[in-house]
Copies of this chain bind each other. A is one copy, B any other.
Amino acid sequence: MVLGALEAGGTKMVCAIGNEQGEIFEQVSIPTETPEITVPKMVSYFQSKKIESLGIGCFGPVDLNKKSKTYGYITSTPKLAWADYDIVGAFKKALSVPVGFDTDVNGSVLGEVTFGQGKGKNCVIYATIGTGVGVGICIDGKLLHGMLHPEAGHVLIRKRSDDTYEGRCPYHKTCLEGMAAGPAIEERWGANAKTLKERQEVWDLEAYYIAQALSNYILTISPELIILGGGVMHQEQLFPQIRSYVKEMLNGYLKTEELEDLEHYIVPASLNDNQGIMGCLELGRRALCQEQE
């Protein structure tokens, strides 16, 4: 199979060609401008490669409901040029191949479940913590949608009593994204997160909030594995601190093998930052198989 993969982000569009084993033959990155400028560039890239199908993992919110009139649209994004844009329709029309479609984070969790450390696991969470917080969930090999798709970056959390920061989510103030995404770290501490590496109190508080959200994910959907990615998680000192707070917060209530071995339960992404684009290859493969059924 020659599969196309598109990881559609707010600042860049990563386009790749690969196969059903997750091998990436080549990839290019195109800056995200408007659909009028950016989409034709991607279309001509994919046309020249003679792909059999395309998988798109897209920044959200997106409409994933196949019964909906606006299935395949980017919906109410603050990136206004892309709001209410029929991205699936545009590629289907231009390329005449099957198009698989999901959120970017669902793409990442699918990459890890198909080709990475999530293989063989029935319930896996992927959370990316960067300029925002996104969460993808894969259950029995299927990406979780429900009425929309997970938006678990916005779960409401408890503020720690020593934290006076007000939170910056325009909807929920002190949700996880409002308290712990990169911009919140920078606003709270008045410095770029990368320059704060040595400030222990920064990462202790960050780990506290991430652990709180993870504890609630664990209590709610009981994942077998939690993978953390995104720019903030490049601060690798966070991992042991997050695990330690999760242990403290769950406080022995759940007794499972996984929780006895948190080092292999809460882990960094394993596919050299290719989990997203590899997940898009799998989205493309699935779309092709569905078409052929």
Note all chain B residues with C-beta closer than 8 A to A217: 220
**Closest B residue by C-beta to A217:** B220
Q: B216–A156 contact, CB under 8 A?
A: yes
Closest to A173 in B: B251
Cβ 8 A contact of A122, one of B75, B146, B155, B212 = B146
Q: How far is the CB of A264 from chain B (nearest CB, A)?
A: 12
Are the C-beta atoms of A256 and B148 separated by less than 8 Å?
yes
A152 at interface by CB-CB < 8 Å: yes
With A171-B251, A215-B156, A220-B220 as given contacts, are A123 and B148 in contact (CB-CB < 8 Å)? no
Q: How far is the CA of A267 from the CA of B122 in the complex (A)?
A: 29
What's the Cα separation between A123 and B135 when bound, in Å? 17
Q: With an 8 A cutoff between CB atoms, is A236 at the interface? A: no
User: Roughly how many angstroms separate A209 CA and B155 CA in the complex, as a whole number?
Assistant: 14
Partner of A219 from B139, B154, B158 at Cβ < 8 Å: B154
| Residue from A144, A158, A249, A257 with most neighbouring chain B CB atoms (10 Å) | A144
Q: Does A81 contact B (CB under 8 A)?
A: no
By the criterion CB–CB under 8 Å, are A150 and B222 in contact? yes
Task: State whether the Cβ of A23 lies closer than 8 Å to any Cβ in chain B.
Answer: no
Report chain B residues within 8 Å CB of A152. Answer: 219-220
A257 to B220, CA, bound (A): 24
Question: At the interface, yes or no: A94 with Cβ under 8 Å from chain B?
Answer: no
The reply to whether B221 and A221 form a contact with Cβ atoms under 8 Å apart is: yes
Q: Is the C-beta of A167 less than 8 angstroms from some C-beta in chain B? A: no
Q: A139-B139, A156-B212, A156-B216 are in contact. Are A123 and B151 (CB under 8 A)?
A: no
Contact with B along A198-233 (1 / 0, CB 8 A): 000000000000001001110111111000000000
Q: Is A190 an interface residue (CB 8 A)?
A: no
Nearest chain B CB to A126 CB, angstrom units: 13
Within 8 A of B (CB), among A117-159: 122-123, 135, 137, 139-140, 142, 144-152, 154-159
Residues of B with C-beta under 8 A to A122: 145-146
A25: interface (CB < 8 Å) = no
A258 to chain B, nearest CB (A): 5
Q: Verify A123–B146 contact, CB threshold 8 A.
A: yes
Taking CB atoms, residues of chain B closer than 8 Å to A254 are 148, 151
Does A253 contact B144, Cβ atoms closer than 8 Å? no
Q: List 18 A-B contacts (CB under 8 A).
A: A123-B144, A123-B146, A123-B147, A135-B220, A137-B221, A139-B144, A139-B146, A140-B142, A146-B222, A148-B254, A150-B222, A155-B220, A156-B216, A158-B159, A171-B251, A172-B251, A172-B253, A220-B221
